[in-house]
Amino acid sequence: MNTLKTAFLLALLTGLFLVIGQLLGGRTGIQIAFIFALIMNFGSYYFSDKIALSMYKAQEVDKMQAPELYSILERLTQKANLPMPRVYIIPQDAPNAFATGRNPDHAAVAVTQGALNLLSQEELMGVLGHELGHVKHRDILISTIASTIAGTIMFVSSMIKWAALFGGLSRDDDDSSPLVLIAMAIFAPIAATLIQLAISRSREYDADKAGAIYSGNPLYLARALEKLENYSKNIQLKGSPATENMFIVNPFKGKSFMALFSTHPSTEERIARLKKMVIS
């Protein structure tokens, strides 16, 4: 169901992109914006693991250094039919985790020291299963595609607004009204952002389901999410809010002013869905 929702949202985002292209009458501006966004986002896609791990000073560990963590991941990757990812520990007390890497063959899973201290082995299995779900579903690629389209829409909308400001919207080549273009320039970026965030939230539900399946019990992840949510309110992660979509729970929730603009569904809803999996 969430896969269909993601496909629909991506189609909606693409449709919004095409509408702007139509209103611009095929100008080269939208082509330039798309190429610019493509280079920027796919550049970050190829180097996402290095950027994120470096930002949080994550330290790579092997089986000798973190035997329990490594052993759990080995079992889960076998169940998920995935290659073993690189394993990292983030030296922070805030409990959290994320996965990164452009595909399953170049994946990395990072867990904070706080999460290792807080979670039981079963709860850690649920969390790591969730992160492997992101790897399995290639969510880094999906979010990159969404970011590229949304980024292009925002770039072109900004061009339109600057053109309007300096009187560059007189159009003799088509019937598009300058007022329509200005309205689109104002509302299109908002719509693109909302769709992009909805895609991110949808991917979290699918990763939760994967975590429940790989770990063998939905309640492992449900209990982990409850702990992570409660503790993250008291122990702030040191980092950038721009990376909040990477983590299993939003570590910068205090800096988000509306649930509508959140990269994550509510933790309460996620826990409720996991508990329903037990009942069904």
Which pLDDT does position 65 carry in this prediction?
95
Which pLDDT does position 196 carry in this prediction?
78
Q: What is the mean pLDDT of residues 139-152?
A: 74
Tally of structural domains, the chain? 1
Which pLDDT does position 143 carry in this prediction?
77
Which pLDDT does position 173 carry in this prediction?
47
Catalytic residue among 123, 131, 204, 244: 131
Q: What is the mean pLDDT of residues 81-107?
A: 94
Whole-number Å distance between alpha carbons of 87 and 65? 11
What string of DSSP letters covers 226-268? HHHHHHHHHS---S-GGGGGGBSS-TTGGG---GGG-SS--HH
Whole-number Å distance between alpha carbons of 144 and 222? 28
Is residue 169 within a helix (H) or strand (E), and if so which, with residue range?
none
Known catalytic residue at 244: no
Other CB atoms closer than 10 Å to residue 267's CB: what's the count?
Answer: 19
- Going from the C-alpha of 218 to that of each of 112, 188, 227, the distances in angstroms are 22, 38, 15
Domain of residue 7: give its range. Answer: 2-279
pLDDT at residue 18 greater than cutoff 60: yes
Residue 132, C-beta contacts closer than 8 angstroms, at least 6 positions apart: 73, 76, 77, 80, 82, 85, 99, 109, 210, 211, 214
Copy the structure tokens of residue 169.
């919207």
Q: What pTM did the predictor assign?
A: 0.79
CB 220 within 8 A of CB 75: no
Triad 94, 209, 226: Cα angle to 5°: 35
Whose tokens are 């080269």? That residue is: 28
pLDDT in tens, 186-196: 787 788 778 87
Lowest-pLDDT range of 44-53, 75-84, 244-253: 44-53
